């Protein structure tokens, strides 16, 4: 049986392409379902599917974060993207001046699956719509 990993779930649905007849079908996936064997509605070939319910870009857009600068000053932000190497966030124009390239910051946020994340990072770029920072610690997640 063909196995597909890391299939993104969108609005409770996945699109699976049959490995045999190449026909695309949509299937419903319940929120807690991590894997499922689906059967092609055309040729009946089965595929073993492993789902990815977490989509970083969607997750990040809804996440509020706190950025700590000068050790004690906390600034409320929204994350706009999270990657393995860094983080992007949005601040209001009044606090934008508090950031500069090369500055060391601490970012704290709660991931949608409930885990608190604290990362040290260095500011790599500053623009009105996004501040980008690269992690300088070792991943603790």
Binding positions for Zn ion, rule: CB under 5 A: 18, 20-21, 40, 42-43, 45
Q: Which CB sits closer to Zn ion, 45 or 78?
A: 45
Distance CA 109, CA 44 (A): 45
- Residues in a beta bridge with 73: 69
Shortest distance (Å) from residue 18 CB to Zn ion: 3
Q: Which CB sits closer to Zn ion, 46 or 112?
A: 46
Q: Which CB sits closer to Zn ion, 43 or 136?
A: 43
Cα 46–48–49 angle (5° rounding)? 125
Shortest distance (Å) from residue 38 CB to Zn ion: 10
Q: Which residues contact 19 (CB under 8 A, 6 or more apart)?
A: 2, 45, 47
Shortest distance (Å) from residue 110 CB to Zn ion: 41
Sign of CA dihedral 137, 60, 124, 72: negative
Shortest distance (Å) from residue 19 CB to Zn ion: 8
How crowded is residue 22: how many other Cβ atoms within 10 Å of its Cβ?
10
Q: Which CB sits closer to Zn ion, 40 or 80?
A: 40
């Amino acid at each position: 049986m063909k196995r597909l990993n890391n299939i993104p779930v969108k609005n409770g649905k996945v699109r699976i392409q049959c490995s045999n007849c190449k026909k695309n079908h949509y299937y419903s996936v319940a929120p807690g379902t991590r894997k499922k064997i689906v059967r092609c509605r055309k040729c009946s070939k089965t595929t073993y599917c492993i789902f990815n319910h977490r989509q970083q870009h969607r997750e990040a857009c809804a996440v509020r974060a706190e950025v700590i600068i000068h050790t004690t000053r906390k600034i409320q932000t929204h994350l706009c993207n999270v990657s393995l190497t860094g983080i992007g966030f949005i601040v209001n124009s009044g606090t934008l001046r508090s950031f500069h390239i090369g500055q060391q910051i601490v970012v704290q946020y709660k991931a949608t699956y409930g885990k608190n994340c604290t990362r040290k990072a260095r500011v790599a770029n500053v623009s009105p719509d996004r501040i980008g920072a690269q992690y300088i610690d070792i991943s603790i997640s």
